[in-house]
Amino acid sequence: MTRFLASRLLQALVVLLLMSLAVTVLMTLMPGDPVDMMLAGNPRATPADAARLKALYGLDRPLLERYWHWLTAALAGDFGYSRLYAQPVLSILGPRLGNTLLLLGLSMALTLAVALPLGVYAARRPYSWADNAINLFCFAGISVPAFWLALLLILLFAVELQWLPASGLGPVGSEGWWQRLPYLVLPVASLTLASIGGYTRYVRAAMLGELRQDYIRTARAKGLGEERVVWRHALRNALIPIVTVVALEFGALFSGALVTETMFAWPGMGKLIYDSIMGNDLNVALVALLFATLTTLVGNLLADVAYVALDPRISFKGGES
């Protein structure tokens, strides 16, 4: 176990290092120098002004020198300042990360809470009217574009019925978390409705496969109750591919949902990453993308641990137990 974790940690460090270099190089290659963009609206700016500002922001130094400077500072815990926001990178990331985790965490929990029973129910009655109805619901959820769904929800519940606020983080001057709850309903519903379909289909497909296995027939022949067969035996094995999908989505929990955040004016990581890339705010983009990479790696590590817990044939030693 320790050796396995050490090996994965080492791999993660290499991936993060390569990722940081790749992001730096790619953002530097993007057209539009940040200082030129800053001065584009100032007709009186001279080449000397551009040179002065480039020196001030360290943009006059060679790429590798800038990268090395950033890396050594980052290893010492200094991730620098945002060029756009004039704030330390971590102080910008913190609140956005909290917003994103709240939004996407709730959405994922709700999605799994609905998709698991729905998928299992559909798999137990394949091609029945209930299965067909669930499939229709799933395909509708998968097919509707996120912005369209968000807009429909806003129009229905905020504009027409006026039951819920259309957007924002909470009422102005709100002090308690409960005051923010109504503001979460529509964005969480929008994300959940869009992702339930996919997860339900995964669960249904995985369960259908498992319910046809010999060991299920044997369990039934031994006289085990149907609920025990389905929930304790079939689902446990069906969860392995589902855990893989959830692990891949784990990174997205921290990298945000750009469309939903934009539609509901919910300042989260998706919008921050987009703005930092478009605004050539290298420090923010770099740390945000590295964080998303790190969480994806952590998600995959957790998935590996979950495989061991779910399937006794898998062990950290690499062979079958």
Partner 1 sequence: MRNGLAALLLAGLLTGTLGAPPAQAAKDELTIGLTQFPSNWHPSVEAMSAKAYILAMVRRPFTAYDADWRLTCMLCTELPSIEKGTAEYETRPDGKKGIKVTYTINPKATWGDGKPVTTDDVLFTWTVGKHPQSGYANFDLFARDIVAIDVKDERTFTIHRDKAVCTYAEINDFEILPAHLERPVFEADPANYRTRSKYETDTTNPGLYFGPYRIAQVETGSHVVLEQNPTWWGPKPPFKRVVVRAIENTSALEANLLAGQIDMVPGETGLPLDQVLAFEKRHGSRYNIIYKPGLFFEHVELNLDNPALADVRVRKALLLSIDRQAISKQLYEGRQPVADNEISPLDRVHVPGYPTYSYDPKEAAKLLDEAGWTERRAGVRHNAKGERLSLEIMTTAGNRSREVLQQVLQAQWRQAGVEVRIVNEPPRVLFGDTLEKRRFKSMALFAWVSAPENIPRTILHSSMIPSEANNWAGQNYTGYKNPEMDKVLEDLEHVCEPDANRALWAKLQTIYAQDLPNLPLFFRADPYILPQWLDNVVPTGHLDSSTLWIETWKPKG
Positions that interact with partner 1 (CB under 8 A) = 30-33, 36-47, 49-53, 56, 81, 84-88, 92, 95-96, 140, 144, 147-148, 150-152, 154-156, 158-160, 162, 165-169, 172-173, 262-267, 271-272, 275, 278-280
Per the listing, tokens 């641990």 go with 305
Give the nearer residue to partner 1 in terms of CB position, either 4 or 85.
85
Name the minimum Å distance from CB 228 to partner 1. 36
Q: Which of 44, 188, 56 is nearest to 110 (CA)?
A: 188
For residues 4 and 317, what is the distance between their CA atoms, to the nearest angstrom?
8
Give the nearer residue to partner 1 in terms of CB position, either 229 or 273.
273
Name the minimum Å distance from CB 295 to partner 1. 21
Cβ-in-10-Å burial (0-12, 13-18, 19+) of 239 comes to: buried
Q: How far is CA 285 from CA 22, 273, 276, 291, in A?
A: 12, 6, 5, 10
Give the nearer residue to partner 1 in terms of CB position, either 194 or 230.
194
Cβ-in-10-Å burial (0-12, 13-18, 19+) of 313 comes to: exposed
Name the minimum Å distance from CB 12 to partner 1. 30
Q: Residue 259 is encoded by which pair of tokens?
A: 């469309």
Q: How far is CA 266 from CA 16, 42, 184, 260, in A?
A: 28, 31, 9, 8
Give the nearer residue to partner 1 in terms of CB position, either 15 or 74.
74
4 near 316, Cβ under 8 Å? yes
Give the nearer residue to partner 1 in terms of CB position, either 83 or 233.
83
Name the minimum Å distance from CB 87 to partner 1. 6
Give the nearer residue to partner 1 in terms of CB position, either 44 or 222.
44
